[in-house]
């Protein structure tokens, strides 16, 4: 009996010793396999990160996205009046700003667009170029960078009825849209911005307005996401006399259409209006609710590489 107990004890001790020796080896093997997996990913061919955002618009502003080559996008944007106007205007329903626009992708990187906004009877056009695209692989690119330049011409009569030339009625916007898709659910972008107005009407007001925008989306389901956008005014006069544009909303994808519902403190629908001319702070109660409907059409088949 004593010999049996002794044999069992020795076997148990040997088992514990082998387990103690095997544990570090197993961890080392797992670490080695993890490292090999990471090295394999780094050595893999570059793969573009798709769908950083679902639409070319976030709330009021652009995203880093452009449509695929040969795609035309029809956009109908609508901002109602402020909610606190009360029942007399059906909580802003009677007072609305509308923009109708067409965008077309000349290539996967270059997009052009034209629009007409009821606010100021404004005509606008833009060029949008994807300078960098986020990718994974051997030569991964951490962010997407899209460059935007736009012009907006106010065609309505000014209140003082003084005639203005086309040049004086024009404002320009320049933006660098820097975005990253951090996960399948979360994307974020920064928007350094310059708005130049050829004509300003108030004493001491600068023609140039600098702002830094930021915005992102969080995808809750395959077809539903929550979005937010904010533009911080850097120019002193603008910061003292205007308000930072802000908005929150949701994207709802229904196949060929994307419905974007939002609430914002900016009634304007083009950059010079919502970045440089917002009057009320977001939490003042003067909020505009609105929507954007976008529909994509394939005009030309994409080139196959």
* pLDDT, tens only, 148-195: 999 999 999 887 878 789 999 999 999 999 999 999 999 999 999 999
- Is 22's pLDDT higher than 50? no
- Is 266's pLDDT higher than 60? yes
Across the chain, mean pLDDT equals: 85
* pLDDT, tens only, 32-61: 555 645 555 556 678 999 999 999 999 999
DSSP state, residue 52: S
SS3 20: helix
CA distance 199 to 205: 10
Find the mean pLDDT for residues 243-261. Answer: 91
pLDDT at 43: 61
Dihedral of alpha carbons 236, 242, 243, 244, sign: negative
* Least confidently predicted of 40-44, 168-172, 281-285, 288-292: 40-44
What's the farthest any 2 CA atoms get from each other in the chain? 116
Dihedral, 232, 233, 236, 239 alpha carbons, nearest 10 = -90
What are the strands, taking DSSP E only, across the chain?
47-48, 71-82, 96-105, 110-117, 122-132, 135-136, 144-154, 170-181, 186-197, 208-221, 224-233, 245-254, 257-264, 288-298
pLDDT at 91: 63
pLDDT confidence band for 8 (50 / 70 / 90) = very low
Annotated domain spans of the chain: 47-298
Percent of the residues in the chain that have a pLDDT greater than 70, as a whole number? 81
- Element housing 7 (H / E): helix 2-43
pLDDT at 5: 41
pLDDT at 34: 58
The CATH class, in words, for 47-298 is mainly beta
pLDDT at 304: 55
Which tokens hold the place of 58?
């976030």
State pTM to two decimals.
Answer: 0.81
- Is 126's pLDDT higher than 80? yes
Percent of the residues in the chain that have a pLDDT greater than 90, as a whole number? 59
Which tokens hold the place of 257?
């259409």
- Name which of 130, 213, 228 is nearest 173 in CA terms: 213
* Least confidently predicted of 58-72, 218-232, 275-289: 275-289
């Amino acid at each position: 009996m004593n010999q049996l107990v002794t044999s069992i004890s020795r076997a148990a001790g040997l088992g514990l010793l082998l387990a103690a020796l095997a544990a570090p080896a197993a961890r080392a093997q797992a670490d080695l396999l993890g490292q090999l997996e990471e090295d394999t990913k780094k050595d893999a061919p570059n793969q573009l990160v798709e769908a950083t955002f679902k639409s070319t618009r976030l709330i009021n502003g652009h995203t880093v996205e452009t449509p695929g080559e040969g795609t035309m996008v029809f956009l109908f944007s609508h901002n109602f009046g402020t909610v606190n106007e009360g029942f007399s205007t059906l909580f802003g329903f009677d007072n609305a700003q509308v923009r109708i626009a067409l965008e077309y992708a000349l290539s996967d990187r270059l997009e052009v667009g034209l629009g007409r906004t009821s606010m100021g009877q404004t005509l606008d056009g833009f060029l949008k170029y994807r300078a960098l695209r986020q990718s994974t692989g051997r030569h991964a690119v951490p962010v997407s960078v899209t460059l935007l330049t736009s012009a907006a011409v106010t065609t309505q009569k000014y209140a003082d009825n003084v005639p203005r030339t086309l040049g004086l009625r024009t404002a320009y916007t320049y933006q660098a849209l820097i975005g990253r898709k951090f996960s399948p659910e979360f994307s974020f972008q920064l928007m350094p911005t310059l708005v130049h107005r050829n004509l300003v009407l108030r004493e001491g007001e600068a023609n140039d307005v600098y702002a830094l925008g930021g915005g992102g989306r969080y995808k809750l389901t395959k077809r539903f996401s929550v979005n937010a956008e904010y533009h911080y005014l850097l120019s002193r006069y603008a910061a003292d006399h205007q308000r930072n544009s802000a908005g929150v909303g949701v994207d709802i994808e229904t196949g060929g259409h994307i419905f974007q519902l939002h609430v914002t403190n900016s009634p304007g629908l083009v950059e010079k209006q919502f970045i440089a001319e917002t009057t009320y702070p977001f939490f003042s109660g003067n909020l505009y609710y609105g929507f954007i409907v976008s529909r994509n059409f394939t005009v030309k088949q994409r080139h196959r590489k």
